Amino acid sequence: MTCIGQFMVLLNNTITSAALPDMQLRLDTTLTGLQWIVDAYVLAVAMLLLAGGVFADRFGGKRIFLGGMAVFTLASLMCSLSATVGWLLAARILQGIGAAALSPASLALLASGYPVPQERVKAIGQWATFSGIGLAVGPAAGGLLVEAFDWRAIFLINIPIGVVTLVVGARILPDRRNPDAPPLDLPGQVLALLLVGTLTFGVTEAGDLGWTSPLILSCFGATIVLLALFLTIEARVATPMLPLRLFKHRLFTVSNAAMTVVGFGLMGSGFFFSQFFVTVQGHSVMRAAMETLPCSIAMVVCSPYAARIAARFGFRSVVTVGLVLAGTGLVTMAAVHASTPYPNVWWRLAITGVGFGLTMSPLTGAAISSVGPREGGLASGISSTTRQIGSVFGVAVLGAIVRTRQEHGASFGSGLNTAFLTAGVVTLASAVFTALWLVRQQAPAADAPQITPTEAPQPAVTRS
């Protein structure tokens, strides 16, 4: 049951991208509208993921999992019934709230249900497998559903799965809670949401309103103020949602910075893959969905082996190679155009997928190994959150770049080339960053991870 919940969360990360061209046509929206359709969900997940872990520990994984599933299923129905972009955005936010609850709760249930370490490793391995399947089948499933019906079908598919999970889960899932779980850091949670939301709005709307418009400049100014307030609060509260002392560890800081770049490059570029094949090359939605599969499949295949390779060669080597490959793939995507044949495109997507597949598990492992055993769950949750935040900004920034290029007379395809190039350069720069500093500050030689090969490509975790 818990694996099915995680499958649905990951499926909705990729299935939406396949439906974006159809959404743009049927909802008569702009590129900015499409950005918000994606970011509304990802932003809600990113900002509430740690809170979901706290609630799962405090009130019981079963209660939070079933509550999150109910919200997610209801929101999926609301998405399918939405007649305007505004209603769809509201439903997507609600869907993200449900996902932020059920994802960490699913892992909490696994951890409590399998107290024996070896059995827990196997259970988490199955959880990771379902995560990978959700990522891999998303584009193809989305293309098939849109081709047969329309974009609403990608949300309707969640409803029967959600209902069955609720009915069966209410009967078989154990109800356990941790009475010693820390309380929710409400001021920090609210400030973090306002901070990231304000900056996301400023970057997303800058492409339409102009980077120097009063509203956009006000957003950037407010972001600075909110950041200062957030850091002040987190430094003073007894149980902060983001303990600043963790960033004294170089390995923790660098791994999370690199994870932000991974989210930026992967989600930001993935937002445009289907649009390239449909809008620039004129292919059908179904064909475009199948053409994006090399990236997803490469990630799913490589992710389970990334931890094993990192255990042998160390975090720094594996992550650096992965970022170099991903950055190279994205830079080469900047050279594709309307007449580029697919045999000259798929390998670029595959290289990108291999690269990102090699980075996520080792980066999460690096963050976990940099802190004490009792804070491993928190470190993993922060790592997952930073990736989601990077995803939000990837869609926002690259979308703003495309619109800015169009406003200066460039075609949509040329704008995509610039966006892919930007994502590639940022990713390559991150490779240099990790090559230099992804080591323990006090013991540089001991950067070999202690992680299992079953870590999920998109980990969600509780705070314990």
Are residues 123 and 217 located together in one domain of the fold? no
Are residues 207 and 253 located together in one domain of the fold? no
Answer whether residue 111 is part of any domain: yes
Are residues 38 and 126 located together in one domain of the fold? yes
For the segment 34-45, the average pLDDT, to the nearest whole number, is 92
For the segment 22-45, the average pLDDT, to the nearest whole number, is 92
Higher per-residue confidence, 457 vs 331 = 331
Amino acid 110 reads L
pLDDT tens digits for range 104-135: 888 778 767 777 666 765 666 566 667 667 76
Percentage of the chain modeled with pLDDT above 90? 57
CATH number at residue 33: 1.20.1250.20
The C-alpha atoms of residue 413 and residue 420 are separated, in whole angstroms, by 11
Answer whether residue 154 is part of any domain: yes
DSSP secondary structure, 412-445, as one string: HHHHHHHHHHHHHHHHHHHHHHHHHH-S-SS-TT
Integer angstrom CA distances of residue 407 from 35, 115, 208:
17, 58, 9
Q: How many other β-carbons are positioned within 10 Å of the β-carbon of residue 283? A: 18
Answer whether residue 235 is part of any domain: yes
* Structural domain ending residue among the three candidates 240, 255, 279: 240
pLDDT tens digits for range 374-430: 676 678 788 888 988 999 999 999 999 999 999 889 999 999 999 999 999 999 999
Are residues 89 and 217 located together in one domain of the fold? no
Are residues 190 and 163 located together in one domain of the fold? no
Are residues 312 and 408 located together in one domain of the fold? yes
Quote the pLDDT of residue 219: 95
The C-alpha atoms of residue 74 and residue 213 are separated, in whole angstroms, by 38
Quote the pLDDT of residue 454: 36
Quote the pLDDT of residue 361: 83
Q: Which domain holds residue 199?
A: 185-240
Which pLDDT band, with edges at 50, 70 and 90, does 103 fall under? confident
Quote the pLDDT of residue 260: 96
Are residues 255 and 235 located together in one domain of the fold? no
Answer whether residue 456 is part of any domain: no
pLDDT tens digits for range 205-215: 987 888 899 99
Answer whether residue 48 is part of any domain: yes
Could you tell me which of 40, 51, 140 has the C-alpha nearest to residue 103? 51
Higher per-residue confidence, 147 vs 93 = 93
Are residues 160 and 299 located together in one domain of the fold? yes
Quote the pLDDT of residue 139: 79
Quote the pLDDT of residue 458: 42
Answer whether residue 443 is part of any domain: no
Are residues 233 and 249 located together in one domain of the fold? no
pLDDT tens digits for range 47-66: 898 888 888 878 888 899 99
C-beta of residue 71 within 8 angstroms of C-beta of residue 94 = yes
Answer whether residue 464 is part of any domain: no
